[in-house]
Amino acid sequence: MRKIKIYGAGSIGNHLAHASRNLGYEVLISDIDEDALRRTKEEIYPDRYGKWDDSIRLSLVKEIPADEYFDVVFIGTPPDTHMALALKTLKEETPKVLLIEKPLCTPDLKNAQALFEASEASDTTVLVGYNHGLGDNTVEMERLMAEGVIGTAITLYGGIHEHWGGIFKAHPWLSGPSDTYLGFAGRGGGACGEHSHGIHIWQHFAHLLGKGKIVEVSAIMDIVDDGKVNYDSFCNLNLRTEKGFVGTVAQDVITAPAKKYMKLQGDAGFLEWHVNYSSEGDAVMVSRDGKEGEVNILPKTR
């Protein structure tokens, strides 16, 4: 049986634990806070999934046996702790997979190069939790892009527009952004960090188009700085790749209801990628030769 170690007993830690148990894996959830572990067992997990799973082990980080092997290590802690935990894992352990929740690190990129070099030297597969890149809507976009149904790509634009009230609803022990990294852009919070799915999926599609990596960025941000928090509530990013491909990504923590989409405009039509397009699921829209777009719903349960 595969063994999973999760750092962080918050919302993402519980999601990862439940998903791992559904796959039949042995799970350990760890945290530095005893109250976080108690909250997981008594509140978060049973409230979400019906009841606590007694097979899940709970442990303070300092009490995990140093010689215990885990096939997969998940890091689901605040972004400003990711690098230290990831580097420690690669130095002291040999898991098959190390998955780090997004965003990977803080905006100053501290220790990002060190992690890259450590991952290159390791047999461990190192991943970052941009799960939208694996959705059925993304797979369908990839298929249509490969078929060239919209001709030559001209531009790509879209965004992740979502009020962060849902995040705090999932973390009722927090009174607001000042209680967590979310209220501090320098710690990996704010719109640019928390909703960086938009930047990721833009870069993913640009790679598939053969346009290369982003090399130039200009931005306008609305900064909230009231002495208690310092974060961007809205960011509008203009992007250019190494091949000269240009587009935009907007991300915010203020829009309700949420809109998450990306539009690829070609000279013979367009493709649109949508998350939570309707109550039925995600979607991909395709339009050829100026005709009204055809919507393909990709059902999902969450």
Report yes or no: 89 and 76 within 8 Å, Cβ to Cβ: no
Q: Whole-angstrom Cα distance, residue 190 to residue 187?
A: 9
At 93 the pLDDT is: 97
Q: Which candidate, 75, 12, 21, 11, places its Cα nearest to that of 52?
A: 21
279: exposed, middle or buried (Cβ count in 10 Å: 0-12, 13-18, 19+)? exposed
Distance of CA 285 to the CA centre of its chain: 23
Per residue in 225-271, pLDDT tens? 999 999 999 999 999 999 999 999 999 999 999 999 999 999 999 99
At 78 the pLDDT is: 97
Per residue in 174-230, pLDDT tens? 999 999 999 999 999 999 999 999 999 999 999 999 999 999 999 999 999 999 999
CA distance to 17, 103, 216, 239, 276, per residue, from 130 (Å):
17, 8, 22, 19, 16
At 245 the pLDDT is: 99
Q: Measured at the alpha carbon of residue 293, what is the angle toward residues 291 and 296, in degrees to the nearest 5? A: 145
Q: Whole-angstrom Cα distance, residue 269 to residue 153?
A: 9
Burial 50-59 (b: 16+ CB within 10 A, else e): eeeeeebebb
Report which residue type is found at 283: A
The structural architecture, per CATH, of the domain 3-129 is 3-Layer(aba) Sandwich (3.40)
CA distance to 120, 250, 252, per residue, from 76 (Å):
22, 25, 22
Report yes or no: 271 and 296 within 8 Å, Cβ to Cβ: no
The structural architecture, per CATH, of the domain 132-299 is 2-Layer Sandwich (3.30)
* φ and ψ of 279, to 5 deg: -65, -15
Per residue in 124-151, pLDDT tens? 999 999 999 999 999 999 999 999 999 9
At 217 the pLDDT is: 98
Alpha-carbon dihedral angle through residues 13, 16, 132, 251, given to the nearest 10 degrees: -10
Examine the pLDDT at 115 and tell me if it is beyond 80. yes
The predicted model gives 63-89 an average pLDDT of 98
CA distance to 25, 64, 127, per residue, from 70 (Å):
11, 11, 16
Instruction: Give me Rg for the CA atoms of the chain.
Output: 20
At 293 the pLDDT is: 86
Examine the pLDDT at 291 and tell me if it is beyond 90. no
Residue with tokens 């053969």: 210
For CATH 3.40.50.720, the residue range(s) in the chain are: 3-129
Examine the pLDDT at 2 and tell me if it is beyond 90. yes
For CATH 3.30.360.10, the residue range(s) in the chain are: 132-299
Per residue in 19-55, pLDDT tens? 999 999 999 999 999 999 999 999 999 999 999 999 9
pTM beyond 0.85: yes
The residue ranges of DSSP E strands in 95-144, in sequence order, are 97-100, 125-128
Mean pLDDT for the chain overall: 97
